[in-house]
Chains A and B, each alone.
Chain A
Amino acid sequence: MDMASLSSNLLFIAFVAYLVATFLFGGAVKSSNAQSTKSFDRWGKLAITVTIIGFIANLGYFITRWVAAGHAPVSNLFEFTTAFGMMIVGAFILIYYIYKAPALGLFALPIAVLIIAYASMFPKEISPLIPALKSYWLTIHVITAAMGEAILAISAVAGLIYLLKNIDLTKKTKERFWIEAVMYVLFIVVGFVVSTVSFSVANYSAEYTYISKDETQHTIEYTMPALFGMNESVAITDNAFEPLVEMPPLVNAKKLTSVVWSILFGTVIYLLLRLILRKRISSILQPLTKKSNSQLMDEIGYRAVLIGFPVFTLGALIFAMIWAHEAWSRFWGWDPKEVWALITWLFYAVFLHLRLTKGWHGKKSAWLAVIGFIIIMFNLIAVNLIIAGLHSYA
């Protein structure tokens, strides 16, 4: 077996291990109370062991792919996002050994699984480095930035647990609405994965020609039935799905199509689950958080930001500036990705100040942590896909 396929097998092993560990943590959470410490120990130990095995496999994926490619596997969207998922697990293991909170695993692992699944929807082949990426700063900058973001993500996980536990879901409040909205967004990511996989299993593909904004003709391949057509698009493939709406040249209708399919699939899955279970998703999850200590979750949420913020600053701003100065001749150029890294940084600076000087603990702090993660994911997903910039190769 060659390096490259060994690498993808290891990633698959890690993926499965994380899924299994999620259920084991579920078991640990259910049995964790004073009466059944022993059984908690058993479940908890098993869960963390499986997690660590998965993490080692994941590291194995990372290293073998590095060897195969000859450069750190962080050079495109698939590689970066997968590494981010891996680091979330790494950050979770670190925090788990400090605070021993199994509920954290129950929520952190599915998020990592979702992120890795999301990553796998993008082209996975190993590609050579373009000139702009040929620098050891690629390794240093991207890995440090991803590590910082992963640690900050744990803060959001703790925040989510805190909120699920402490929001009164029996009363109709704004909080109840928004926590459910967060759940719904997670389902849209699931929708993206499910729709991509379904259409690729069905082997759907259709080619169209279109006129781009510089008034030249191009061809584009859709892998999902075209809900939206590119500007003046004409199908090349026989029996291709006729787009429902044609978009102006400014809009990338292909991306819009996959966004809308994700929302459709996500919404259907969400609604089906709610119909079957006859409960809000947050209400289903709430019992799993009952045994978590709010104070501890609040502390973890804060501590994760404290640990992650300096790492993030170093990786996403300082190393980024040094590299930008070498590659693009200026350390700062207001490229959208740079700006969003700055926004993330400013946001967490506000988080820390509000907590330290305005006493924003508990729910407020938990909400901020969740919003911070949303900003990070926005920078990861939306800025790459929607707002094109110098980082658009990623």
Chain B
Amino acid sequence: MDKIVCACGNVNPAGTALCESCGRPLNEETKEKKIVDMRYEGSARRSQTYNKTIIDKVWNFFSSVKVGMWIIVSILVAAAIGTILPQVFYVPATNESDIAAYYERIYGWFGTLYYELGLSDLYSSWWFQGLVGMLGISLVIASLDRVIPLYKSLKKQKTKRHISFLKRQRVYGIGKAEVTEDSLLKAEEKLKSLKYNVKREGNAILAERGRFSRWGPYVNHLGLIIFLFGVMLRALPGFYVDETMWLREGETLYVPGTNGYFLESKGFIYETYSKEESNEVFGDAIDRVGTIAKNYQTDVALYKGPENSVAGHAEDLTFEKNASIQVNKPIKFDNFSVFQMDFRLDELAKMKFQLQDKQTQQSFGEFTIDLANPQPLYELNEGYKVEVLDYYADFTGFEEGVPQSQSPLPNNPAFLIKMYSPEFPKGETSFVMIKETVEPLGENKHKIAFQSVETRDVSGLTVRKDLTLPLLALGGLIFMIGVAQGSYWNHRRIWIQLLEDGQTVVAAHTNKNWLSVKRDLDEVSKIAHLPEYLDQDDLDSLDEKVDKEEGV
């Protein structure tokens, strides 16, 4: 491709719209414009100039802001579609067929369609992740393609710009004002006091301020790229752990995903606001809503197994610390955090019984069965004892005479029991359930009478490790710096030139915040008596001005 040689002698890369050095428009299209397009300083973005190989084509595709915008809009629309119905991870079902049934049952044909199209798990679909990936590629390439030429052209710009450049600036003025060498000096001084970086070349002044804000977009894009990279890292093993555990009061369990940590639940606390104890102003709210939860808390002890110990080895645990896990206050250790996420209240823990004479209800002693660890034999009063033959935690009924339990959870405990007494040294058999007793081997004289229960609460905990967090935080920080840099500062340039024919030209450009650059220019004009300028984009004021002039 040919390089473009400007009338001023500067050699510009192919595709340049405005000469990097003097600013002369270099092609017909630019020459026809009333106001010049100052994006990227009219420099040649490489993407637009080379389009030969397939790689170039792919590159140019991702370099295009238009394509980038379409990718963002696609993500935006997809994300919105994903909120129409709850996503699978908020649905109370775990296996595929239950999930499908759930969508069908709750949302009818629309639910089925939503599920079948895969919209119910949209955010982890390959195409959604692919879109985000494409956005990442676009961020890298579009930034690379622009920041380099922009940097070069800002570096190369000359103080003295050609009049054809100046008159195509949005803020522009020309006139035979009384501008002398002295007023140029005054202007220079004033601009300096306004924190401009002033350059002088003969009768030309270039005052520039806040150029670093031009890098803001690229800095924030870098932040986003780092953030996305961090998100990507979670796919690698070891960076990310996400497990759940149900922990009962009194139980010590291995913490899944960790290397040899154990948690013991010392107790679960569930509190609600009471009118008596809370701040008086909450009275109305408590009356209206009923119960308002105040606290979910699991008091735990954390233990660590010996170094290099293997699974199953539950001895020699060393106590690490006690902690209260509350919502918003996870326990943290060794890059892991354990969160209070869920709970079940009042699971049966212990049941107390009496051995009684059925007729007289005379008691022959009491015993308590720990449902987590029932004992085979309970000795009672002299000559009386109870043998637990079998235990059914979640009793559902008999199948071919055999009692069935559908889970190990004590939702409906039942016991097969033998009662020994001096009268029946060989024992009487009884099947004891909640509220009911079956005597499978004929009428008994004795019975097991239920006395009371003890319950315990179960804490639902989430175990999380995320080593990508520092990277995500860094990405977020860089993004914020970049976005602030680009938004709260702006790049302002003011050109003042004394032309050979005695006229003075002023022009100004800013990438944003025209109000401030005009204000600066006003201040300089006052001191240096510069010609009046016009905002060539401010059609309302131009009309008004025309009206006034014509209306005289």
Contact = CB atoms under 8 A, between A and B. Distances in A.
A331 B472 contact: yes
Contact of B328 (A313, A327, A340): A327
B299 interface: no
Contacts of B488: 306-307, 310
Given A68-B281, A127-B282, A313-B483, A293 B76 contact: no
B462 A329 contact: yes
B327 A132 contact: yes
A329 B480 contact: no
Interface string A347-370: 101100110111100000000000
A287 interface: no
A294 to B, nearest CB: 5
Interface in A322-343: 325-331, 333-334, 336, 339-340, 342-343
A387 B79 CA distance: 14
A347 B76 contact: yes
B475 to A, nearest CB: 10
Interface in B234-290: 242, 273, 278-279, 281-282, 284-286, 288-289
B480 A310 contact: yes
Given A310-B480, A329-B462, A339 B80 contact: yes
Nearest to A308: B487
Contacts of A306: 487-488, 512-513
Interface string A108-131: 000000000000000101111011
B3 interface: no
A295 B480 contact: no
A130 B293 contact: yes
Given A346-B72, A350-B73, A127 B106 contact: no
A343 B285 contact: no
B75 A346 contact: yes
A176 interface: no
B328 A125 contact: no
Nearest to A249: B106
Nearest to B146: A357
B319 interface: no
B292 A98 contact: no
Interface string A60-78: 0000000011100000000
A388 B87 CA distance: 12
Contacts of A294: 538-540
Mostly, the A contact residues are: helix
B377 to A, nearest CB: 44
B535 interface: yes
A346 B70 CA distance: 11
A307 B486 CA distance: 10
A326 to B, nearest CB: 6
B341 to A, nearest CB: 7
A204 interface: no
B285 A314 contact: no
Given A127-B289, A329-B337, A358-B65, A314 B480 contact: yes
Contact of A343 (B76, B282, B466, B476): B76
A334 B123 CA distance: 8
A72 to B, nearest CB: 15
B531 interface: no
Contacts of B483: 309-310, 313
A134 B285 contact: no
Contact of B282 (A128, A325, A327): A128
B514 A299 contact: yes
A63 to B, nearest CB: 15
Contacts of A357: 39, 65
A78 to B, nearest CB: 11
B540 A293 contact: yes
B435 interface: no
B540 A127 contact: no
Contacts of B538: 293-295
Q: How large is the interface on A (under 10, 10 to 19, 20 to 34, 35 or more residues)?
A: 35 or more
A306 B485 CA distance: 11
A240 interface: no
Contact of A354 (B69, B89, B293, B295): B69
Nearest to B487: A306
B541 interface: yes
Nearest to A335: B90
Nearest to A340: B83
B339 A329 contact: yes
A356 B512 CA distance: 9
Contacts of A4: 281
Contacts of A318: 476, 480
Given A294-B539, A306-B512, A336 B83 contact: yes
B294 interface: yes
B537 interface: yes
A125 B285 CA distance: 6
Interface string A215-258: 00000000000000000000000000000000010100000000
A347 B76 CA distance: 8
B539 A339 contact: no
A189 B504 CA distance: 56
A123 to B, nearest CB: 6
A248 B110 CA distance: 14
A213 interface: yes
Contact of B541 (A295, A328, A336, A356): A295
Nearest to A4: B281
A327 B327 contact: yes
Contact of B37 (A309, A329, A359, A383): A359
A302 interface: yes
A299 B65 contact: no
B61 interface: no
B241 to A, nearest CB: 11
B36 to A, nearest CB: 12
Contacts of A339: 79-80, 82-83
B441 interface: no
A48 B436 CA distance: 78
A102 to B, nearest CB: 16
A134 B328 contact: yes
B436 to A, nearest CB: 26
B173 interface: no
Interface string A240-279: 0000000010100000000000000000000000000000
A161 to B, nearest CB: 12
A259 B244 CA distance: 40
In this complex, the member of A125, A134, A359, A383 whose beta carbon has the largest number of chain B beta carbons within 10 angstroms is A125
Nearest to A357: B65
A135 interface: yes
Given A131-B327, A306-B512, A342-B79, A70 B279 contact: yes
Contacts of B294: 128, 130-131
Contacts of A310: 480, 483-484, 487-488
B168 interface: no
A330 B328 contact: no
Interface string A276-312: 0000000000000000011100010011001101100
Contact of B330 (A295, A326, A333, A349): A326
B107 interface: yes
B515 A128 contact: no
A338 to B, nearest CB: 9
B479 interface: yes
Interface in B528-546: 535, 537-541
B450 interface: no
Interface string B449-466: 000000000000010101
21 contacts: A123-B285, A125-B288, A127-B286, A128-B279, A131-B296, A131-B327, A132-B327, A248-B108, A306-B513, A313-B480, A314-B480, A321-B472, A325-B469, A326-B329, A327-B327, A329-B464, A330-B242, A330-B464, A343-B76, A388-B86, A389-B90
3 tightest A-B CB contacts, nearest first: A127-B285, A125-B284, A131-B327
Given A299-B515, A346-B73, 15 more contacts: A68-B281, A69-B281, A125-B288, A126-B285, A134-B326, A295-B537, A299-B514, A310-B484, A318-B476, A326-B328, A329-B330, A329-B464, A339-B80, A346-B75, A346-B79
